Amino acid sequence: MRAMNGLVLSVVLGLVGAGVWIAFSRLLDIRFLVVLAFGVGALAGVGMALGTRYKGGVGLGVLTGVVCVLCCFVAKGTIAYFRAHEFLHDGATVSDAEAYDALCQDIYWSLVDEGVLHGDEETIPLAVFEDASAQWQAMSFDEQEAYKANLAGTWEDLDGTATGIVSTIAFLFSWSWLDIVCVFSATGMAYRFGSVMRHEESDEVPQWATGDASTLMAKPGAPPASVVNTAPAGTLGTPEAAPRVEGADSFWTRLGAEPPVSNTPSMKRTPKAAADGAGQQEPPRAEAA
């Protein structure tokens, strides 16, 4: 689930970065705007890291790199489409000769509609050219420019075929060594950000820390049971209650000596000592003069 959230957030932020790249390309026609691909890679990587809550790993890093490459392709393709559209439509101009030929065609087909001509003539009659020339000369400069602008507006790519072809060609030829280096580096940045792994802190008690004391002693990090003093209460400090360490006897055996005996006095009072203590009386204290 976290991987899916990371993928969605990575795609969204990557497309936001691609949109910023496209917007700047519409304002500034500069080839060095390809450095904005680093922003696309960074946003895609941050989106993956935040969406997965820094789950990290090689798989998520590779997925983030793929998202970065696709977003960069979207940006480059959209820029190529806008430039192709401008080339075919906004940048198209109609010359005076093209306008004159179009005017001749308009007059010819108008005469066909009126029944003056049949429309099956092999060539346009000379009278049509003379009429077209007279009409063109009678127009003012502004009227001629308006006629050419109107004619350019009718030359539309209705099905988008020409725009699609020119866009594809513009996209393929828009890649330079700088574009390749920037997109490749941005992909590496996206991989780095998307594969970041961070351990989350939790207040939940770990499973190994639950249970009774005997169970906890057997867990990693706990002292071994061989050195735990399990002597009864009141017998601590006696030689009999001293903790036994595994391997101690074999150590002294290898040395050929007896293990040392602890001389620590016992803190346990035997019945006899208790009786003797009870029979003794505290010596009288000297009264102050």
Domain span including residue 104: 96-154
User: How far is residue 188's CA from residue 76's CA, in Å, rounded to a whole number?
Assistant: 18
**pLDDT level of residue 244 (50, 70, 90 thresholds):** low
Q: Which residue has the higher pLDDT, 108 or 46?
A: 46
Mean pLDDT score of the chain, rounded to an integer?
76
Q: In this predicted model, what pLDDT tens digit does every residue of 157-194 receive, in sequence order?
A: 555 677 788 888 888 888 999 999 999 999 999 999 98
Q: Do the domain assignments include residue 140? A: yes
Q: Are 10 and 127 members of one domain?
A: no
26 and 42 inside one domain: yes
Looking at the structure, tell me whether residues 53 and 187 fall in a common domain: yes
**What local confidence, expressed as pLDDT, does residue 79 receive?**
93
Tens digits of residue pLDDT in 61-85:
999 999 999 999 999 999 998 888 7
Considering the domain architecture, whether residues 44 and 184 belong to the same structural domain is answered as yes
pTM: 0.53
Number of domains making up the chain: 2
Q: Is residue 32 part of a domain?
A: yes
Does 88 lie in the same domain as 185? yes
Residues 80 and 101 in one domain: no
Quick one: pLDDT at residue 31?
81
